[in-house]
Structure 1
Amino acid sequence: MPRKQRRVSAFFKILAVLTVTCGLLLAGGYYAITSLKPLEVAEPEPTESCTITGNEDTHDIDVEQAANAATVNGVAFSLDMPEDAVVIAYATVWQESKFINIEYGDRDSLGLFQQRPSQEWGEPDQIMDQVFATRSFYEELKEVPDYQEMPVYEAAQAVQRSADGFAYDQHEDLSRVMAAAFNGSEGPAVSCWYEPETSAKSDVAGAKAELERVFGTAPDDLPVADGPQTGEIGWSMAVWAVANARDYGLRSVTYGDQRWRAAAGEDGWSTVPDGAARATLVLK
């Protein structure tokens, strides 16, 4: 065979070997890559959250959301509103602000209920006060004839007069769970945990003063004979204190024979060792 032909033949042999080798490497690499399982990244554990249990259902919500929900419920006690009114208020707030007291909204809307100063709901600083805003909502709801007999979204729309009143309907089920949890009828149905460094300085007196402003009754006056129709006021105050513990630096809340401790984290409530049921609310 001529030298030139031998060189060409050798070249193609080498090329064939390289082609086969690269193919094997690529195939092996493809197999190795495709055989790898996707990395499973664990979701970080929430450092601050609240668990609410009502109507045999449980949900987790943010601490700020729980604190505002407890206040919306508490104001209903001060006005002797029924649980149905709280459900309507909750469905409204879920749709309007998701229980975050926001300082903005459509046009001049503000706060939990997205009320507008230009529509005579009050001055901006008043609307941003959760107690004032909630009281205003309930006072308007009172004026709606037979609101308890109406679908929740229709009652909410009668007060809010929003662009899409049916949107409130999607929040009814969760709102009923929350109303049962916060109205006290199910006892220690709200538990919260938070990072100690995020809590305020201990202010038991401030917490008691706000409880009286929200509920219209001083916690030191418990038990209350013939309490409001909203629910069990003692337990409702207790879960309000738990939901607002971070803002007032509370480390424990005791009512009856149950005690919530911030240090317990997610475990929350436990039975008081002496087991004595007392109709007093103790904050520390």
Structure 2
Amino acid sequence: MPSRPPSAAVRRRRRQVRTGVMLAALVTVVTGGSVLAVNQLEDSEVLVRERCSATVGTDTFELSPTQAGNAALISGVAVARGLPARAASIAIATAIQESRLENIDYGDDAGPDSRGLFQQRPSQGWGTEEQIMSPLYATGAFYDALVRIPGYETLPITEAAQIVQRSAHPEAYADHEPEGRAFASALTGNSPAALDCTLHEPDGAGDPLAVSAAAEEVFGPLGGVVDATTLTLDVSGTSGWAVAQWAVANASTFSITSVSHSGLQWGRAEGGWTATTSEPGIVTVTVAGVTP
């Protein structure tokens, strides 16, 4: 006997079952895809979040590469002038409070004409706006004022910074003393291999001549030897570590891939400092080459 065609009710139930199965499968695909996308986003965020850290003792502090580059300049000028690391600590803590260690071109509550790393004001005799917007000039002007303070090396940061800056919020400088001290200790070379930067791949080839010129602008003549991708500097001791860690702090800017000094090497790809065969009195800076 030929079978009867399914009734309308049965056909509806079958369609509902098929629709439910399809929706469940779609939800699984979408949900799985969403989880995958979130995981990929989280991984990507970890990879692209560039940062530099200074570790001294058990304390670690982070800055962006731009901030770290400015901290390295501030510390490098102190080294070039023969100033103690305490001077760099005071200057970095002050710049964190005044500008977040960024070379800002607008005023704040310090005054509408305040500018630069230290929010110095042309109307208060710090120099022209163009001069103040030069981090090298602004840092030099800050140290010029700092060293005129008798016994500044032993003063609390709040007091030393306030005498220089004449801020409306002098107590705020002390809030940044720990990170100021950590970055100053690393970037003046007093804490070897204490600075590390986590960076993505270089955007393009680097120029060792540009690295040499920038380093000498901060530290003075270094007598570097340059080839296609490498800068070699004959500088040892505390100054050697100051220059080496200055290079790490500026690795993002100059497409630097590795820095070695005194038996240790920082590598951009893996981060951190590892043992190598570098000579004690030599700083070697390698930049990204031209991609074939």
The question of a shared fold, defined as TM-score above 0.5 by the shorter chain, is answered with yes
- CA distance in 1 between counterparts of 2:257 and 2:282 reads 17
Contact 1:211–1:219 (CA under 8 A) maintained in structure 2: no
Consecutive unaligned residues of structure 2, counting only runs of 5 or more, are 1-34, 225-232, 287-292
Contact 2:211–2:254 (CA under 8 A) maintained in structure 1: yes
- CA distance in 2 between counterparts of 1:72 and 1:223 reads 19
- Deviation track 1:55-89 (CA, whole Å, cap 9, x = no partner) reads 43112221111111111100001111111111111
- Deviation track 1:114-154 (CA, whole Å, cap 9, x = no partner) reads 01112221222221111111011001101112112221101
Match of 1:158 in 2: 163
- CA distance in 1 between counterparts of 2:65 and 2:220 reads 23
Match of 2:180 in 1: 175
Supply the RMSD in Å over aligned alpha carbons.
2.1
Instruction: Tell me how far 1:216 sits from its aligned partner.
Output: 2.2
Match of 1:98 in 2: 100
Which of 105, 117, 121 in structure 2 is aligned with 1:112?
117
Q: In the alignment, is residue 239 of structure 1 matched against residue 245 of structure 2? A: yes
- CA distance in 1 between counterparts of 2:181 and 2:151 reads 19
Contact 1:254–1:283 (CA under 8 A) maintained in structure 2: yes
Q: In the alignment, is residue 188 of structure 1 matched against residue 193 of structure 2? A: yes
Match of 2:213 in 1: 209
Shift of the 246–131 alpha-carbon distance from structure 1 to 2, 3 Å rule, reads same
- 1:207 aligned partner, one-letter code: V
Match of 1:61 in 2: 63
Which of 252, 256, 262 in structure 2 is aligned with 1:250?
256
Contact 1:153–1:167 (CA under 8 A) maintained in structure 2: yes
Shift of the 157–144 alpha-carbon distance from structure 1 to 2, 3 Å rule, reads same
- CA distance in 2 between counterparts of 1:59 and 1:104 reads 27
Match of 2:130 in 1: 125
Contact 2:259–2:265 (CA under 8 A) maintained in structure 1: yes
Q: In the alignment, is residue 270 of structure 1 matched against residue 271 of structure 2? A: no
Match of 1:222 in 2: 234
Which of 52, 55, 69 in structure 1 is aligned with 2:54?
52
Q: Secondary structure in 1 aligned to 2:269? A: helix
Contact 1:77–1:216 (CA under 8 A) maintained in structure 2: no
- CA distance in 2 between counterparts of 1:56 and 1:235 reads 20
Shift of the 268–128 alpha-carbon distance from structure 1 to 2, 3 Å rule, reads same
Consecutive unaligned residues of structure 1, counting only runs of 5 or more, are 1-38
Contact 2:115–2:121 (CA under 8 A) maintained in structure 1: yes
Shift of the 195–121 alpha-carbon distance from structure 1 to 2, 3 Å rule, reads same
Contact 1:184–1:234 (CA under 8 A) maintained in structure 2: yes
- CA distance in 1 between counterparts of 2:258 and 2:214 reads 17
- CA distance in 2 between counterparts of 1:80 and 1:154 reads 22
- CA distance in 2 between counterparts of 1:67 and 1:200 reads 19
Which one is further off, 42-51 or 131-140? 42-51
Shift of the 157–203 alpha-carbon distance from structure 1 to 2, 3 Å rule, reads same
Match of 1:36 in 2: none
- Deviation track 1:175-213 (CA, whole Å, cap 9, x = no partner) reads 11222121212211111122225x464111111111111
How many corresponding residue pairs?
234
- CA distance in 2 between counterparts of 1:150 and 1:80 reads 19
TM value normalised by structure 2: 0.74
Match of 2:281 in 1: 279
Instruction: Tell me how far 1:219 sits from its aligned partner.
Output: 5.7
Contact 2:222–2:235 (CA under 8 A) maintained in structure 1: no
Which of 126, 134, 138 in structure 1 is aligned with 2:139?
134
TM value normalised by structure 1: 0.76
Q: Secondary structure in 2 aligned to 1:77? A: helix
Instruction: Tell me how far 1:269 sits from its aligned partner.
Output: 2.0
Q: Which runs of 4+ in 1 moved over 6 A?
A: none
Q: In the alignment, is residue 148 of structure 1 matched against residue 153 of structure 2? A: yes
